[in-house]
Each structure stands twice: as C-alpha cells, then as structure tokens.
Amino acid sequence: MNSIQSAFENGKAFIAFITCGDPDLETTGEVVREAVKNGAKLIELGIPFSDPTAEGPVIQGANIRALSGGITTDKVFSFVKELREDVSVPIVFMTYANVVFSYGAERFISRCRDIGINGLILPDLPFEEKEEFAPVCRQYGVTLISMIAPTSENRIAMIASEAEGFLYIVSSLGVTGVRGEITTDLNSIIDVVRRSTSIPCAIGFGISTPDQAKEMAALSDGVIVGSAIVKIIEKYGREAPKYVGEYVRSMTENL
C-alpha cells in the first residue's frame, strides 16, 4: 500500500496544513507533534513562497512572516529530516512549481525522498503539465498528488483516473480561507471520482468547524484544514502548539 494511503486505513483522515517557519521552525515542529498526538493522520507542510497564488490572506501572511524570519527551502529540508526522528505519519509538501524549478526538480524531489517526504502538492501545476514532475517523482518514490476543483468539470474523471496517493478535492472556488458555508455540489464531483479511481479523496479549502469537518468527511475519506490552524498559530505564536492540539482534537473526535 502507498504510504500516503495508509493515513486513510482506519476511519476518516484529518489532514493538517502548517506553514513551515511561522513563527519559527521549532514552533512548527511542536505544532506538528501536537496535531499528530491529537489525531491528525497526515501532515501537509507548506514551504513558504513569495507569491502563493492559491492562498488567501491568512496563509499568505504566514508565508510572509516565515520568509521575513529567514526560512529557506534548505532549512525546511533540514527541519523535516529532524522531525522524522519521532514523527511517523505521512508528510507531504505543499508548495509551488517555481520553488521546485528554481531548486532543480531532481535535486528537490530526491531530497524529499532522502528526508522522508511522501508526497508533493503543487496547486499551480495544471494537470496537463504534470509530466514536468511526475517521472522524477516516480523515480524517487515521492507521490505527486492531483487536485480537482469545482472548475475541473469534464476533466474530473481523467484527473481521478491518473491520480496517485490521494485526491485533493477543492471545496470552493477561489483561494484558501475559512468559509462560513460550503455550497459547491461536492456530491456530483465525488460520484465521478468514485467511478474513476479507488484511491482515497480528501476535501480541503474552507473547512474550519467540527460540523463542517463531519459533513465533508461524510462525503469523502478525509478533510484538510489549513487556514483555521494557521490563524491559531498567528494568534498565539510560540504558545500555539497546545491550542492547535486542542483544536485538532475537537475536529477529529467527531469524524
């Protein structure tokens, strides 16, 4: 079984997104550990980027703070290598194609393998251009995770049929951020996905409350929460790990 899919083996998967280096890498590490201790089954680590086009103001702010604090891709790699000494759940990077290009795709992806990164999410990489990275990812055993958005429409079956690891279903149009209500017809999207692939799918963008998480988990195999966690970190800074742990527990105990 793919290591990423193991996160979906026992019940619904709660996936926590955390921006590396906001407010510092030591705090990021403690936030990850608290999230896992309280039920997160997969961790998405954001590598800060100066132009995070898929992100709303909350995660954009985290990127700016991390970059202002001197975070680099190499520092993130070193951080994850250390994190892997005691964190065993699947971990994926979420970043942008330019970060990988500028680092060198083979160099970036081979280092992902070396430090124990299981997958890579590139929200600005169109499905039609995924072969820029997919062969290198396969060579090094790093899963390139596909995304399906409400605008994917007649491409949903095609994207799903070629997906690996898990499918990231984007719940809403626009950028990441907390939403009061999710109105997309996700049932129709997931019906097509289920007919096209047997790999798990998780819903992200806009989920922030236990009720929303429960509703989305009823449709899918897992939920992805980012902005709500990043807001807690922004509010509490170095004191955030405890509060993130409490939040994750409140989300996972009803999935």
Q: Report pLDDT digits (tens) over 9-59.
A: 999 999 999 999 999 999 999 999 999 999 999 999 999 998 876 677 899
Place of tokens 């060579």: 139
User: Which CATH entry fits the domain spanning 5-252: 3.90.180.10, 3.20.20.70, 1.10.3470.10, 3.40.630.10?
Assistant: 3.20.20.70
Query: Residue 90: which pLDDT band, with cuts at 50, 70 and 90?
Result: very high
Helix (H, G, I), strand (E, B) or coil at 120: strand
231 is written with which tokens? Answer: 């807001």
Supply the pLDDT for residue 7. Answer: 97
Report the Cα–Cα distance between both ends of the chain, in Å, rounded: 23
**Torsions phi, psi for 224 (to 5 deg):** -115, 125
Please state, in angstroms and rounded to a whole number, the distance separating the CA atoms of residues 184 and 204.
Answer: 12
- Whether residue 178 is predicted with pLDDT greater than 50 in this model: the reply is no
Query: Residue 173: which pLDDT band, with cuts at 50, 70 and 90?
Result: low
Supply the pLDDT for residue 150. Answer: 83
- Whether residue 217 is predicted with pLDDT greater than 80 in this model: the reply is yes
Supply the pLDDT for residue 180. Answer: 42
CA angle 122, 150, 90 (to 5 degrees): 40
- Whether residue 78 is predicted with pLDDT greater than 50 in this model: the reply is yes
For the segment 84-108, the average pLDDT, to the nearest whole number, is 96
Q: Is the peptide bond before 23 cis (omega within 30 degrees of 0)?
A: yes
**Torsions phi, psi for 117 (to 5 deg):** -80, 130
Supply the pLDDT for residue 9. Answer: 94
Query: Residue 246: which pLDDT band, with cuts at 50, 70 and 90?
Result: very high
Residue length of the chain: 255
For the segment 229-239, the average pLDDT, to the nearest whole number, is 97
CB 77 within 8 A of CB 25: no
For the segment 181-191, the average pLDDT, to the nearest whole number, is 74
pLDDT digits 0-9 by tens, 139-161: 999 999 999 988 887 899 999 99
Query: Residue 238: which pLDDT band, with cuts at 50, 70 and 90?
Result: very high
Query: Residue 182: which pLDDT band, with cuts at 50, 70 and 90?
Result: very low
Query: Residue 177: which pLDDT band, with cuts at 50, 70 and 90?
Result: very low
Supply the pLDDT for residue 205. Answer: 86
Tell me how far apart the 2 most distant CA atoms of the chain are, in Å. Answer: 46
Please state, in angstroms and rounded to a whole number, the distance separating the CA atoms of residues 104 and 97.
Answer: 10
- Whether residue 74 is predicted with pLDDT greater than 70 in this model: the reply is yes
